[in-house]
Amino acid sequence: MKDLIDEAFYCEVTKYGLWHSFDKDGKPLITAMTEDQCISGTRFYLKGLQDGWDSSYSVTYDGTVGGKL
């Protein structure tokens, strides 16, 4: 078994030097350049899943073009 971080996920380095995090079941979560970024990014991601994402950070865009072309 992999060494779990916060008893929730683990990180592995690839042969290209990128870091990937996985949950307990092996589901991929995020990819980062360094181990520290991978750990902090995964913590942020899992907290967002647990608590819900703050809608004030959500941005929606309209894909229509106004006016005559």
pLDDT tens string 20-66: 999 999 999 999 999 999 999 999 999 988 888 776 666 777 777 77
Q: pLDDT confidence of 12, banded at 50, 70, 90?
A: very high
Which token pair is 62?
Answer: 């309209």
| Residue 38 included in any domain | yes
| Residue 66 included in any domain | no
| Residue 3 included in any domain | no
Instruction: Specify the pLDDT at position 56.
Output: 65
Q: Please report, as a single letter, which amino acid is at residue 33.
A: M
Spatial contact of 5 and 39, defined as CB atoms under 8 Å apart: yes
| Residue 40 included in any domain | yes
| Residue 43 included in any domain | yes
Q: How far apart, in whole angstroms, are the C-alpha atoms of residue 54 and residue 56?
A: 5
Domain range for 34 = 9-51
Q: What DSSP designation does 5 have?
A: B
| Residue 32 included in any domain | yes
Strands 19-23 and 28-32, by their bridges, are antiparallel
Q: How far apart, in whole angstroms, are the C-alpha atoms of residue 53 and residue 69?
A: 38
Number of domains in the chain: 1
